[in-house]
Chain A
């Protein structure tokens, strides 16, 4: 099974974190439905060219969050997620992306006003406002 997860080797973010964020997004956005069987740990490691240690960590973290469940001997599945939990996760991912955008702005000394203006412009462009 193929998963649309992209690794940026040049990133400062640790590999497990990059994979975790993207896999979580696939689950909470509903792109991976409840009950979907995920690739085995070795398979996903092969796909992403990372170690099984990394993949195991991702699966464990997401299992602890209640997004995945592992059935002994059969594999790891997408768990049933409550609607309100789903909404929370959905917004979490967006919040995180916005925070990253603000960080990028601060790096080039953008002011609060400039960022607000930029954000409005992007909104207008994307929503055709």
Chain B
């Protein structure tokens, strides 16, 4: 149960304008893990590190139980499907079907029926040149391509980028079905709140090249709440002591909106302090991210 599909230990990558890490990250097998973070936080670099496309200065990376960049690691990689955020333009003059012919040779498990089924599902014609495809069409084609060898692990960098709402729904559905057998794993990076909500089991926050934590999705949303409190005993100073307090806002009329990352504890605390919670609100993923980014900024300034 606690097997990891991917693990990064003390991984550091230094670039002139950017430092990634040290990163500790474990991606559990059998689950969908979503990396959430602002632009430039190191999500795409993390994918490249996992696939050994760039080398870290320090640290150990394991992929499907094997240390990467060992001999024969192409065999491990043939069990992975990777959808990059951007596609290189070098194959623009190729017909999609020609790219497929090239790619499938590398995958012993290639399943032509699965490939055809996915093309039909996404309404993609692989007789078109890659450079002539719209952004969404190209994405759908690449999506079909990386799923057709029955990978054990999918790495998806901003999977829905460029997809229309219908194609997006098809993608979500395909991914749910992909996960059905129970022993498969997805690691994805996404900005799309709804996508993370629909797909993820675990959420990883990544900000400025640091992993801020791995959370079980429902626990996360159950913990980050805004409480509306008012009354004679209520003032800013007092509610500062609320467990997990992450921000206080005056909403007028003596009402304070207090954000907590420990909703159950905060609720008990309010009970003990005889503070009545008039209203509560579960925070959305983007609200939580905004607070974490702000906290991280403050931390860096200090």
Whether A42 and B176, one on each chain, are in contact in the complex, defined by CB atoms closer than 8 angstroms, is yes
For B198, the chain A residues whose CB sits under 8 A away are 46, 49
Nearest-CB residue, chain B, relative to A7: B218
Q: For residue A109, give the distance in angstroms from its CB to the closest CB of chain B.
A: 11
Write the B266-302 contact mask toward A (1 if CB under 8 angstroms, else 0).
0100000000100011100000000000000000000
Within 8 Å by CB of A15, from B200, B222, B263, B280, lies: B222
**A43 to B175 CA separation, bound complex (whole angstroms):** 11
Point out the residue from B180, B201, B264, B267 that lies within 8 Å of A51, measured CB to CB. Answer: B201
CA distance A45 to B201 in the complex (A): 9
A129 CB-CB contact with B under 8 Å: no
Inter-chain CB contacts under 8 Å: number: 47
Number of interface residues of B (CB under 8 A): 22
Within 8 Å by CB of A52, from B201, B221, B264, lies B201
With a 10 A CB-CB cut-off, give which of B182, B222, B281, B282 has the most chain A CB atoms.
B222
Over the window 3-40 of chain A, the binary record of Cβ atoms lying under 8 Å from chain B Cβ atoms (1 yes, 0 no) is 00000011010111000000000000000000000001
Question: Which residues of A are at the interface with B, using a C-beta cutoff of 8 A?
Answer: 9-10, 12, 14-16, 40-43, 45-46, 49-54, 107
Q: Is the CB of A15 within 8 A of B201?
A: no
Kindly report which residue of chain A lies nearest to residue B263, judged by CB atoms: A12
Complex alpha-carbon distance, A16 and B221, angstroms:
12
CB neighbours (8 Å) of A41 from chain B are 182
Which residues of chain B (226-265) have a CB below 8 Å from chain A?
263-264
Is B31 engaged at the interface, CB distance under 8 Å to the other chain?
yes
Instruction: Indicate whether B47 reaches chain A with its CB closer than 8 angstroms.
Output: no
Q: Is B143 on the interface with A (CB-CB < 8 A)?
A: no
Which residues of chain B are within 8 angstroms of A16 by Cβ–Cβ distance?
A: 218
B202 CB contact (under 8 Å) in A15, A45, A51: A51
In this complex, what residue of A is CB-closest to B277? Answer: A12
Across the interface, which residues of A come within 8 angstroms of B202, CB to CB? 51
Q: Check A42/B182 contact, CB under 8 A, given A12-B263, A16-B218, A50-B217.
A: yes
Neighbour of B180 across the interface among A42, A54, A107, CB < 8 A: A42
Does B62 sit within 8 A of A, measured CB to CB? no
- With a 10 A CB-CB cut-off, give which of A42, A54, A107 has the most chain B CB atoms: A42
Residues of A within 8 A of B267 (CB): 12
* Cα separation A42 to B32 with both chains bound (whole Å): 11
